[in-house]
Structure 1
Amino acid sequence: MIKRVRSRLSVFLLCVFTIFSMMYFRSDAADTYTVTGTVDSATNSSYLFLNTPQGQMTIAIDADTDLSSCRMLLPDKEVTVDCHHGSDSYLHASRIYVAAAVVDSSNSTTVKGTVTSKTTEDVIFLSTSSGTMQIKVDNTTDMTGCHVITVGQTLYITTARGSDAYMHAVAIRDGNAAAGASDTATINGVTMPNLTGTVAEGTTASLLYFSTSGGTMLIKYDGNTDYSGCLTLIPGQSITVACYGGSDAYMHAARIVNNEMAGYNTAGSYGTTSTFKGKVSSSTTLNTLYLVTDGGTMQIKLDTSTTLSNKPLIVGETVTVTCGHGSDEAWHALNITY
């Protein structure tokens, strides 16, 4: 009889313990919070003062708080915190990190500028011809074209808007476009000079004004010129030209390569197509054609799949552009002819 009572009592106590254990773990799970806000200037090594839309929170920073993704808690920096209630009634941080913004890389543009002294580990302050830009650098930024970033350095940065309203660097390339270019090129078995410079004012559909360290050269195009990967020839654009001497005393371009990060758009499917004719505006960039038509100036995106029937886009020249209307509500160039 006594053994039976003890056995039943043991079972009862085991059930009670199990129930309380389950209640404890549920309570602990419900006591975990994730909050996002900006770091207040009062923050120190022991407490994070987090400014949120609902007010300021005080969160204890412990020895075991995971700070591997956020070593610097500087004023106004936006951070996300996983926290829980401690026995001292304070909220304690389990992990502090910077939430990655969603970047719309389908709508990108490439800018050229100089790194200023305000640049930090997370944000590049880039001085451009249109003013100073603040561009965030993410873990996913493609840095294969740039070994290191220093103040005063010229960069080409492909940027896109993030969900945090900032511009983010999709890819960064060193502004020294000549890096890696050989002094000679062999095309169809013929070795010839391979020169790096920039497109100069005065360039036409038949003659390239080519500014180099040794002066401005006049180089003719011909039917065999290879323009692969070079959709534009606009003033200031860095290019490399493999050229040879023709029987007419002019240098002729065998191949023209764009040295800049064009940031061409990714081709999609287009439900509507149309053809437009007009002149190439001086506002044209490496990835956007500004076409002056009778009805006004159009903005037409250049895609990775855009084809040229003759020559790249040259300011002032008249072209016919077959376009597709994309899901981004923009016109995209399918084919360009002179």
Structure 2
Amino acid sequence: MRLILEDPQRCDAYVPSLAPNEDELAALLVSIDPLAQLTRPIEVLVSDRGTRRRSKLVKTRFVAEPLPSHSAIPVVPGVLCVAPEHLAVQLAPQLTELELIVLLSELLGTYAIAPGLEEGMYQRSRPITTRESMAAHLGALRLRAGTAGVRGALRHACVGSGSPRETKLSLRLGLKPARGGYGLDVLSMNEPLEVGRIHNRMRAGVRKPDILLRAPAQAMRNGRPLLGAAVEYDGKDHASEEAHARDAERHNELTAIGLVEYIVTKRQYRDLAYMDGLVDLIRRDLGTPAKRLTRAEATRLRRLRQRLYEELERIDGVRWNGRERRRAGQDGSRRDDGRDIVPVEAYCLD
């Protein structure tokens, strides 16, 4: 379980030399409800290497130098947690690169995984950090452990994603083929586009495509300028007759402003052959055909695409332990009883 903060206010972080003892921490957890729900052990930063310790309740993490300004968020009086910009740096040494990209995408998106909630995630009104804030924090930390990994992952992280499944679909579409992606140019996610509302005498309205792919300059389709291709993930919230009607309205309004739209369902997302064919169609519409490959190279890249899909499926958004899992040769996406750690609702699935 994690703290979910809608609009966190940053403050300076004072790192104590000594963590609370077991009795002090236990009393704190009982008296403060948000802390009581956190997964144990709770990590506490300390500035004295000699006071480090680990138990079922607490794990201390040594901080050699003072943290930059605004690296913390007040939870309750006297209790701070690290700001999202520093959270990524703190976790980076134990994450795979792909996990770090997914974590950053959550911090830069409008959702937070929350298994305790019925839908498995919390929807924010806006992201809790930005690329610019992340970059500024990394610059202030200079070359501390974790900064290089976060800086590299930040280049590939999604901005504005509305769900874990949108993040994973965007990464599959946008990452380079050498990383298992299709190498398409992802322009934006859930960014507002002005459209004409067909049911309301074409008055101005707004649509927010899940994923917007950039079309090359001067691209044309059916004799008209092509702005790009919109890709929507069709999850369980699209299943009703009313939702289908809304989807049709969205499709027509996006088509009217010069976009082509494709929809990906749960079954199609899991079908690599279908995804390969879908991307071929998207490339055709965008006027960006794939490079000709030898059979051996095509087979190698297909294997990478399958591997990326599988690695993304193992990232549940709760247990950030990819490197440990790799060392143990385990798939940590499920509990011991075989159930998903995060409810499938968090991934917009049926």
Specify if TM > 0.5. Answer: no
The structure with the largest strand share of the pair is: 1
User: TM-score, normalization: structure 1?
Assistant: 0.23
User: Whose RCO is larger (CA < 8 A, sep 6+)?
Assistant: 2
Structure 2-normalised TM-score? 0.23
